[in-house]
Amino acid sequence: MVGEINIKHVSKTFKNVDPGQEDVVALNGFTLDIPSGSFVSLIGPSGCGKSTLLRIIGGLDTPSEGELFLDGKKITKAGSDRGFAFQGSNLFPWLTVEKNIAFGLKARHIYKAQKDDVADYIKLVGLEGFEKSYPHQLSGGMQQRASLARALVGHPSVLLLDEPLGALDAFTRMNIQDEILNIWKEHNMTMLMVTHDVDEAIYMSDKVVVMSARPSKVEEVIDIDLPRPRARSQDTFQKYRTKILDILNLGGKINDIEYYL
């Protein structure tokens, strides 16, 4: 099994260019091990650095201190072993759905060998018949599906999801949540998701990592011990929800929590 992530004492400080202003410490000595094949959610107050952490794992930012490892190899830059689903779909507007999904394969010069994967993933996310459509012709949910297919088609061992469903309506959201879970189960990959949505975190994850406000560290890691498929109305589900909300409100430290109920 691949896709194990070890985060060791990672700190990230954003230097403030304005003189007299303090630097922003987004992460301070963050340590976490993510077992391979698990589904882990990061939840925490707004600005707690969870997206920063995801970007560092994705190789889009570098840590100021500390190290990260993917399957024992140090992460230094972005790579196709880590798929990244961004907030909003961010499809390339000048490419059709098909070409968007094939982008990574072509960039890595493996398109010829893995051509069939493109069609498979279009099918997987239910976009057959829209291969030749441009992003602006698709609904928000379809764009997000195409974006997922694009991140997955190169067979990454880890998928990093940065609030990928935040902009979607409730029904589309729930549909795509199930689709992501199916993909996760079938492909045996590690998924790490940043979310504001407590229910989404409980519904999807093996572990929910609750982070504290800036400079953030792990407040508590909660193992979600519920059989899948899960029902949002279960009693135990409610208990997990109360627990997480309690931690998020801890000691009145946080004033601007941002999550959906």
Min dist. Cβ of residue 12 to another protein (A):
16
Q: Least separation, in Å, of the C-beta of 103 and another protein?
A: 6
- Name the minimum Å distance from CB 227 to another protein: 33
Question: Which stretches of the chain are DSSP H helices?
Answer: 50-58, 97-107, 115-124, 140-152, 170-187, 198-204, 235-248
Residue 244, SS3? Answer: helix
Which residues, in sequence order, are CB contacts of 99 under 8 Å at separation 6+? 92
Query: Rounded to the nearest whole angstrom, what is the least distance from the CB of residue 253 to another protein in the complex?
Result: 32
B/e letters for 11-28, b = 16+ CB within 10 Å, e = fewer, are bbeeeeeeeeeeeeebbb
The residue among 44 and 58 lying less far from another protein, judged by its C-beta, is 58
Closer residue to another protein in complex, CB, 144/212: 144
What is d(CA 129, CA 123) in angstroms, rounded to the nearest whole number?
9
Taking the complex as a whole, the smallest distance from the CB of residue 2 to another protein amounts, in Å, to 16
* Cβ–Cβ < 8 Å for 154, 147: no
**Between residues 79 and 228, which has the closer beta carbon with respect to another protein?**
79
Q: Would you say 82 or 173 has its CB closer to another protein?
A: 82
Q: How far is the CB of 160 from another protein (least distance, A)?
A: 8
- Residues of this chain that bind another protein (CB under 8 A): 58-60, 77-80, 82-84, 86, 90, 92-95, 103-104, 106-108, 134-136, 150-151, 154
Nearer to another protein, 131 or 220 (CB): 131
Q: Which two tokens stand for residue 141?
A: 């949910």
Q: How would DSSP label each residue in 218-230?
A: EEEEEE---PSSP
Query: Which residue lies nearer to another protein by CB, 37 or 59?
Result: 59
- Which residues in 104-133 are b (16+ Cβ under 10 Å) and which e? bbeeeeeeeebeebbeebbebbebeebeee
DSSP-derived 3-state class of residue 98: helix
CB of residue 86 vs another protein: minimum separation in angstroms? Answer: 7
Q: How far is it, in rounded angstroms, from Cα 85 to Cα 256?
A: 26
Residue with smaller CB distance to another protein, 61 or 220: 61
First-to-last CA distance in the chain?
35
Cα distance between residue 119 and residue 125, in whole Å: 10
